[in-house]
Structure 1
Amino acid sequence: MKKSSLKKILLIFLISALALTLTACGNDQAQNENTVSQESLPEEINFGILRVPNDETIAIAEGFFDEYFTNRGIEVNTRVFDSGVEANQALASGSIDFATMGNTNAITALARDLNVELIWIHEVLGENEALAIKDGSGIEEVTDLVGERIAVPFASTAHYILLNVLKEAEIEEDVQLLDMQTAEIVAAWERGDIQAAYTWQPTLAQLLKSGSTLTDSKKMADKGYITANVEVVRSDFAEEYPQLVADFISTLSEAGDIYRNNPERAAEIAGNELGLEAEVALHQMRGTTWKTREELLNEDFFGTVDDPGNFAQVMKDTSDFLQAQDSIEESPSQETFNEYVNPEYIKMSLENDQNN
């Protein structure tokens, strides 16, 4: 055999051996990366939710949590809270990672240094929260509430709006406010212990069977008193698993699209999940405004990290009011709220969709 042919054979052999080695190393590296990725996932995620017909309820009912979390080996646990007060207690104990609550309770979470971030607005509240008055009470306008006892869950969005309703009518010192959870409000209403209450759906619907609304959160929003149901996440969780936070927002976006594209179908899904008739669920959902990810990233809401949107200012204004009412000891600074209302995970969720 010629030396040149032998050299060619040896060269081919060496190239083949090198290729096999690189392939094996590549496979090992990919396997290691998959292992690391799997090991970096938490064993479970704990969500605190409200029983309201919103995007989160639809996402759970449609199995989006399974698609994004359960199918990746993460156990999903959901705990229902009657109000954000209870959710904040759970956040303080570390027993939940995410929580849905009114923006007033999200302010309380920040003021109490619970180490959370506000990452989403489920819905801007409107007619789904209202001041109900009992039939036959003789109450026809806000000033007629003088001397009355009014039930409301304290530190809630309803409480904040009610305080402003009374303040505008200049009767805040002339009524007695009773701190009640929603089930307690219904019981007190049926016993005749109260003639008025500010609460939200579906509790509101139960009161309106024997009552009517005097004003609602939509009318107050038109005057600048904006309230919303929002999502917060523990900062430690978000720092360790930012992609899972973005994935969670993706589930909410998909669920919101169902409502935007087919409200009747969305109402049926949410109604089945909550044990409500679809018509009732749809009425409640239409009493709120649901924003897309793109809308939440504009100047009216989250804005950007470098240019915060108006919602941080709304939170600060609300916080100052709550401090004046002694609902919180100290109102955080505007700079603190600018950092608290974090648009990064919404942005990451959008970028994930664009890259897929």
Structure 2
Amino acid sequence: MHFKKTLAALALVFGSGILQAETIRIAIGTQDTTINCATGGLLIRELKLLDKYLPKDGKYKDAKYDIAWKNFTSGPPLTNEMVADKLDIGTMADFPGALNAAAFKKAGKKSVFITALSGSPQGSGNGLVVPIDSPVTSLAALKGKSISVPFGSTAHSMLLRALKAQGLDPERDVNLVSQSPEVGGSALQGHKIDAHADFVPFAELFTYRGFARKIYDGAQANAPTFHGTLVSAEYAKKYPEIVVAFLRAAIEADRLIAAEPEKYSELIAKVTGIESEVNYLFHGPLGLQTRDFTFKPEYRTALKTAIETLALLKRNDVPLTADEVIDDRYIREAFKLSGLDYDKQLKSYGKLPLVAKDAQSAVTIKDFNRATQVWVEGEPKVRNYVSPESALFAVREAEKAGRKIRVVFVHDRQSGLKLLANQAWFARSPNGQIDAYLEKDAAEKSAQKSGGTVVNFASTFASSTAKLAAR
């Protein structure tokens, strides 16, 4: 009897090539509230896209998958679990990503960035806000004031560069305090700090919720930034097909949100509690950041800067280079299998384009720095207009019909930066043209040049819409 059992076991082994189906763990750490990372986590999970691409033939023919998702509010605890081998894949920004790679190296292991997800070669996405009733309208006016920021974050790097560009010494001219986004938001509301710098989406979120006003965008510091996905190098080497499958799922998530940004902005809001309007600010056409999976030279520079800055802050003493942390082989393969050209995309710097006509006049929108968008409550799609003046007329007509306005988006006349209109400054020229600006000083210079005046959102748009300014 024993002999027969042995033969049966051997037949099973050599006949099937495997004694029993292997169960492969795919443990993924996300940062759902870091909304620009949605294509590398939240959307894949909620839409069950990973299952669609996981390999089911060859050496994976009899494999079973144990997919586990865990959400984090920041990078450090995610890194801790990756290093402890509790997670295989994780998403975070360049700064915490550098710390991730350093922690792995200290442990005798290795982690690598396998894709970028969203970022800005200029640095948009990081921002600086002040309390809504603060008299401060510029970074220079913060000399001698207290500014909080999550230390060791990509926003920290932006702030240091921005202060130095203004001729301010970060150690002598301001009081820097380390605060998480949650603590910083409370401190702003309680007027316990004069300003708070943060990463996606908190500068915009605090502004949208009405207790803060954005006075500085990371793009003004020209400090590149990105969020991306890291993986244990050992895991990627053992299961390269799974890593590529994950990236193909991310590519599909990107295609879906590009086609229907309103729909998926609503989904992100449902999961995270972060308002759809803020999600659309990032993911809609001409958004604050570009969803881009290629490792632009600027993103490599961002990682290099992160590594250097963390060393200066004495947060890392492990020799590390950007080139050893970035491995683009997997995303290149995912592009190929998805029918996309990686090298072509690598050279492209365009944001999600706005291909639209004015909702009122049907004129094709060409000047994107004056393009204005209006999201009317009850309408599934955002309306597009050629200018603030055109949108202003449409807003008033909608209000007369009893419609409520969810949000109005404008663009900084100089930089093209997408803004929440209720927090922008407007230069109104004598001929009635209205141009939007992030900074009051820029609006004043424009108005002075044209002989016009500077106005805010409340005095520009219709009465009920002005309630947005009080959020």
Change (3 A) 1:349 1:138: same
Q: 1 CA distance for matches of 2:200 and 2:226? A: 14
The answer on whether the counterparts of 1:121 and 1:228 sit within 8 Å (CA) in structure 2 is: yes
- Tell me the number of residue pairs that the alignment of Structure 1 and Structure 2 aligns: 306
Offset at residue 282 of structure 1 (A) = 0.7
| Structure 1 segments unaligned to the other structure (5+ residues) | 1-27, 302-308
Q: TM-score, normalised by structure 1?
A: 0.77
2:44 aligned with 1:46, yes or no?
A: no
Offset at residue 38 of structure 1 (A) = 4.5
Offset at residue 337 of structure 1 (A) = 2.4
The answer on whether the counterparts of 1:323 and 1:331 sit within 8 Å (CA) in structure 2 is: no
Q: 1 CA distance for matches of 2:20 and 2:236? A: 16
Offset at residue 166 of structure 1 (A) = 1.3
Change (3 A) 1:344 1:214: same
In structure 2, the partner of 1:216 is: 217
In structure 2, the partner of 1:304 is: none
Q: Counterpart amino acid of 2:139? A: V
Offset at residue 218 of structure 1 (A) = 2.7
Runs (4+) of structure 1 moved beyond 6 Å? 28-31
Picking from 151, 155, 162, the partner of 1:154 is: 151
In structure 2, the partner of 1:272 is: 270
The answer on whether the counterparts of 2:28 and 2:68 sit within 8 Å (CA) in structure 1 is: yes
In structure 2, the partner of 1:321 is: 309
Superposed CA offset, 1:124-171 (max 9, x none)? 045433100113332222122122221211111111111111121232
Picking from 54, 75, 82, the partner of 1:84 is: 75
Offset at residue 331 of structure 1 (A) = 5.1
In structure 1, the partner of 2:163 is: 166
Superposed CA offset, 1:50-89 (max 9, x none)? 1233212222221113434599632222222221122222
Q: 1 CA distance for matches of 2:195 and 2:30? A: 27
Change (3 A) 1:346 1:134: same
Q: Counterpart amino acid of 1:98? A: I
Offset at residue 227 of structure 1 (A) = 0.7
Picking from 98, 101, 105, the partner of 1:107 is: 98
The answer on whether the counterparts of 1:134 and 1:212 sit within 8 Å (CA) in structure 2 is: yes
Structure 1 residues 274-353: aligned runs within 5 Å:
274-285=272-283, 286-292=287-293, 296=294, 301=296, 311-330=299-318, 332=320, 336-353=321-338
Change (3 A) 1:200 1:313: closer
Offset at residue 237 of structure 1 (A) = 1.0
Change (3 A) 1:179 1:37: farther
2:48 aligned with 1:63, yes or no?
A: yes
In structure 1, the partner of 2:464 is: none
Change (3 A) 1:257 1:158: same
In structure 2, the partner of 1:131 is: 128
Q: 2 CA distance for matches of 1:328 and 1:170? A: 27
Q: 2 CA distance for matches of 1:165 and 1:310? A: 18
Change (3 A) 1:37 1:347: farther
Q: 2 CA distance for matches of 1:136 and 1:276? A: 23
The answer on whether the counterparts of 1:153 and 1:181 sit within 8 Å (CA) in structure 2 is: yes
Q: 1 CA distance for matches of 2:336 and 2:74? A: 33
Q: Counterpart amino acid of 2:195? A: A
Q: 2 CA distance for matches of 1:343 and 1:36? A: 35
The answer on whether the counterparts of 1:249 and 1:349 sit within 8 Å (CA) in structure 2 is: yes
Q: 1 CA distance for matches of 2:132 and 2:298? A: 39
Change (3 A) 1:217 1:31: farther
Q: Counterpart amino acid of 1:148? A: K
More helix by share: 1
